[in-house]
Amino acid sequence: MRKAVNENPLVQAAIIGVLALLVGVMLLLRMGGSSDSAETAATDPAAATASDPAAATATDPAAASPAGAASADPASGAASSGSSAPAPVPGAETTAFKAGPGLPKEVADAYDQGKAVVLLVVDKDGIDDQELEVMVDELRSHPDAAVFVTEVDDASRYSRITEGVDLDRTPALVVVQPKSLTDGPMPTAVVSYGFRGAGSVRQALKDALYKGPQDLPYYPK
């Protein structure tokens, strides 16, 4: 047999043809099995879930929605959840500037008494800061002003004021408008940076105490 295969070309061609046929049949069978598996996964959700647990997310609505997630309300068109949004606490707006952390009692009391609160934040090593402190101290004699001076290292005691004006350097002169002139429950303040003369310091307080109209016409020269 081996001699016939080695010496007869016809036998060799027949063997090669049979081998090629077998390879082709095997390829067809393999491709057919892959197509059947894909069709089964597409038409049978249970089979897809068994073969790939992650596929449950795409086919099972309950699996796609985590527990406690908000669901859409068809009637309102809005999302609803198990908990309601926090409601405003009656009277909370009237306690926004009460004494506590970040707001010393003497500052809150001065504001409640209708005074303008003047807060100067200085650097103890700054020459301009020391000179400005002398000028601000002169405002203590004003009957409608309460003056407070603090070094930058202790400014956290007044954080309710400094954070409200985004304090970022010294010297800083912060003037809080009197309660009677404030629109709304929260106080308003103006911050000025750098050295200024005595007239500018007095003007800052004067602006905070101004009671006249705000929309005066401007007449250019």
The predicted structure's pLDDT at residue 33: 56
One pLDDT digit (tens) per residue for the chain, 221 residues: 555 555 666 766 777 877 877 777 787 777 665 555 545 444 554 444 444 544 444 444 444 444 433 333 333 333 333 333 332 323 334 446 889 999 999 999 999 999 999 999 999 888 889 999 999 999 999 999 999 999 999 999 999 999 989 999 999 999 999 999 987 778 899 999 999 999 999 999 999 999 876 654 545 55
CA-CA-CA-CA torsion sign (30, 36, 38, 40)? negative
> Is the previous residue joined to 178 through a cis bond, with omega within 30 degrees of 0?
no
Contact 49, 59 (CB under 8 A): yes
Q: Does the pTM exceed 0.75?
A: no
Q: In a 3-state reduction of DSSP, which class is residue 111?
A: helix
Position 211 scores a pLDDT of 84
CA–CA distance, 130 with 146 (Å, rounded to integer): 19
